[in-house]
Structure 1
Amino acid sequence: MIFDWAFALEILPQLARALAVTVQATLGGMLIALTLGLLLAIARRSRWPLVRAPVAGFVEFVRSTPLLVQIYFLFYGLPALGVQLSAFTSGVLALGLHYGTYCSEVYRAGLDGVSRGQWEAAAALNMNRMQTYIRIVIPQAIPPVVPALGNYLIAMFKDTPLLSAITVLELLQSAKMIGAETFRYTEPLTLVGMLFLAISLVAAAGIRALERRLAVALGRTG
């Protein structure tokens, strides 16, 4: 089948609207992942075993089960427990929970990289544990792990087609619907691949630029 550019331009606005849904799901999921990941990382460093053990078990459980299963559970399983979520909300929450556990390991590596002397200096200034995290440790721990967190952002973006399993009208689902209606799959699927590639490259460039700016800022304050 010959690629029809006229047909591709005709369906591009529809795919662009679906791309907006994909980007929204990615940004929403990443916001959850970044926040949850930091909380999980701090909890896993708790002094109390009753906090550390359940959090470690949760992280390992989520990381060891497929994202698609988690998406299905949140959308089809939670209603049985009395929690009703929309398909989009379920998908964003599943992405955030799944990648939040991976981000927690990245954060944990960054937190472990902060020298013990920083904690001792904070204790000498009569800071409590939370103040030490917020004012001293976290600002030093996050910049070195930005590239790894950025990689998870791109990975999450490429995993959004899984949301089509619960009827979220994201980019790939829209392409499949166009193909089913017109019996032409070459153009929509090609455009989907090009759009995913373009957004991923832009995101990667943005992450590299952010990494350079953080390196410069740390150099000035070092």
Structure 2
Amino acid sequence: MLENFSFRTIIEYLPLFGQGLVTTVWLSVLAFAGALAVGIVLTAMNLQRGRLFRMPAKAYIDAVRATPLLAQLYFLYFGLPRLGIILPELVVGILACH
């Protein structure tokens, strides 16, 4: 299996690996910042005494906790376009991490 292994191929595609690494780190930072913002807002809503803010926050939190991340990704990537909402792949990736 390793008789066809070539370091020249790895060196040839090294810039693409670097670009992929930069994109991954960038998406991770954006997703983390967005998740932190959504989490702070939902926590503040969930701590309210009135039902007007607490119930939607609780429903969102329960829905996100009850579904696997892969199911959320499938819904955002394949389900939303069927509803007429088309988002770029990067946006879907960021939204799914919330």
Coarse TM-score class (shorter-chain normalised): 0.7 to 0.9
Report how far residue 8 of structure 1 moved: 2.5
Equivalents in 2 of 1:89, 1:58: separation in Å? 19
Instruction: Give the number of the structure with larger relative contact order, counting CA–CA contacts within 8 Å between residues 6 or more apart.
Output: 2
* TM-score, with length taken from structure 1: 0.40
- Cα deviation 1:158-215 (Å, max 9, x = unaligned): xxxxxxxxxxxxxxxxxxxxxxxxxxxxxxxxxxxxxxxxxxxxxxxxxxxxxxxxxx
TM value normalised by structure 2: 0.84
Instruction: Please identify the structure whose Cα radius of gyration is greater.
Output: 1
The answer for the alignment partner of 2:83 in structure 1 is: 81
Aligned to 1:154: none
Q: 1:91 aligns with which of 79, 93, 96?
A: 93
Deviation for aligned residue 1:53: 2.5
Identity %: 35
Which portions of structure 1, spanning 4 or more consecutive aligned residues, are displaced by more than 4 angstroms? none
Aligned 1:19-58 pairs, distance under 5 A: 19-58=21-60
The 2-side partners of 1:17 and 1:46 are apart by 44
The two structures, once aligned, show a CA RMSD in angstroms of 1.7
Structure 1 spans left out of the alignment, 5+ residues: 98-222
- The equivalences for 1:6-21 within 5 A come to 6-21=8-23
One-letter code aligned to 2:66? S
Aligned pair count reads: 96
Q: Following TM superposition, by how much is the alpha carbon of 1:33 offset from its aligned partner in structure 2, in angstroms? A: 0.4
- Give, as a single letter, the amino acid of the residue that structure 1 aligns with 2:25: V
Matched residue type, 2:91: T
Higher helix share: 1
Q: Point out where structure 2 has 5 or more consecutive residues left out of the alignment.
A: none
